Amino acid sequence: MAIKQTIIRGGLESLYFSGAHIVFRPFVGGVGAILTLHHVRPPRPDRFQPNRSLEVTPQFLARLVRGLRRSGLEFIGLDEMHRRMVERDFKRRFVCLTFDDAYRDTLRWAYPVLKDAAVPFAIYVPTSFPDRLGELWWLALEAVIARNNRIGLAIDGRDRKFDCGTVVEKKTLYHELYWWLRQRSTEAEMRDIVRRLAAFYQVDVAAFCAELCMDWNELAQLAADPLVTIGAHTVNHPILRRLPKDAARSEMDLSRSVIEAALGAGPVHLCYPFGDRAASAAREFQLAAELGFKTAVTTRPGVLFAAHRQCTTALPRIAVNGDYQRLRYLRVLLSGAATALSNGFRRVDAA
- Do 126 and 134 meet the contact criterion of CB atoms below 8 Å apart? yes
Q: Name the one range near Zn ion by CB under 5 A: 6-14, 17-25, 97-105, 182-190.
A: 97-105
Nearer to Zn ion, 2 or 12 (CB): 2
User: Positive or negative CA dihedral for 308, 121, 44, 66?
Assistant: positive
According to CB under 5 A, which residues from 161 to 200 bind Zn ion?
A: none
| 54-62, 99-107, 166-174, 288-296 -> range binding Zn ion (CB under 5 A) | 99-107
Q: Which is nearer to Zn ion, 101 or 142 (CB)?
A: 101
d(CA 197, CA 238): 19
Q: Which helix (H) or strand (E) holds 86?
A: helix 78-87
- C-beta closer to Zn ion: residue 36 or 335: 36
CB 304 within 8 A of CB 80: no
CB of 230 to Zn ion, least distance (A): 14
How many Cβ atoms sit within 10 Å of the Cβ of residue 316? 25
Site string for Zn ion, 262-291 (x = CB under 5 A): -----------x------------------
Q: Which is nearer to Zn ion, 280 or 335 (CB)?
A: 280
Least spacing, CB of residue 129 vs Zn ion, in Å: 9
Does position 101 interact with Zn ion (CB under 5 A)? The reply is yes
Query: C-alpha angle with apex 25: 21 to 29, nearest 5 degrees?
Result: 115
- Nearer to Zn ion by Cβ, of 29 and 275: the residue is 275
**Other beta carbons within 10 Å of 310:** 10
Closest residue (Cβ) to Zn ion? 100
- How many residues contact Zn ion, by CB under 5 A? 3
Residue nearer to Zn ion on the CB measure, 234 or 339: 234
**Terminus-to-terminus CA distance in the chain, angstroms?**
19
Exposed, middle or buried: residue 351 (CB in 10 Å: 0-12, 13-18, 19+)? exposed
Stretch that binds Zn ion, among 13-21, 94-102, 105-113, 152-160 (CB under 5 A): 94-102
Interacting residues toward Zn ion by CB under 5 A: 100-101, 273
